[in-house]
Amino acid sequence: MTTKEATQKEDTLIRNTTDHIQEVAKWMGVTIDPNNPHHQSHIPSFVNHRSHMSPAQKKAYETLKDQFVIPFDATQKLDYPTLFGREAPTILEIGFGMGETTAKIAHSRPEDQFIALEIYSAGVGAMLNRIDKENIKNVLLMQHDAVEVLVHMVAENSLSGVHIFFPDPWPKKRHHKRRLIQPPFVNLLVSRLKTGGYIHCATDWEEYAEQMLEVLSGHVGLQNTATDYAEKPAYRPLTKFENRGIKLGYNVHDLVFKKI
């Protein structure tokens, strides 16, 4: 790589927080004032509805939330060593569902620590119950919109990885703008990754997989670890939901890209 090419790459990758806020705001179709970041409204990648909680989920939610769920604060960056009590690679998971995969990965990678995001209370309650019953020490949760967390609370060049498993595919064309994996959002993710950090996505929706591959491949700061789709990494377990889809003939695609 020539000095000129390196400079151009650096100019592309090094953006300040205001640049990212305004870029994501344009994607979301709103104007965001970076000096007044609280609770910005935007087009979310999820439908916010009440989720029914089982008695066990409700109990875990009520008794463990204060201990394991990080509150959203647009004025504070996450301090990983303080939160976890140690220095370790930090992985952000976006949309952990009921937490089955999150728990298994946390057990298999005790040297890493995970901040897992989920908007629905039932999922948060289920994961809190897993943390308690399985004595999981390297996972903390957040119950807030991922875009706002990334913009306001995650420092640049601080994450070792990002997991986005089976995000909502929004299959109707008029809803494609709600899909999470879009160029402005990937720019934001890359800015929060350390050099060498990775983005791991998985989906069983063929057309969305193609979009993911196109968007991730098109980012100058990312390098595909495979020719196109990756082999499923050993750390990502097969869930009951995924096994059911495979039996029904759905192909599951993993994509793993590293920041260069």
Known catalytic residues are 168
What phi and psi, each to the nearest 5 degrees, are found at residue 42? -160, 175
d(CA 236, CA 67): 26
118, two tokens = 């989920």
Is there a contact between 206 and 239 (Cβ–Cβ < 8 Å)?
A: no
Name the amino acid, one letter, at 148.
Answer: E
Q: Which two tokens stand for residue 135?
A: 């004595």
Helix (H, G, I), strand (E, B) or coil at 142: strand
| 95 neighbors 146 (Cβ within 8 angstroms) | yes
Q: How far apart are CA 114 and CA 91, in angstroms?
A: 5
CA dist list (Å): 223 to 141, 143, 202: 29, 30, 17
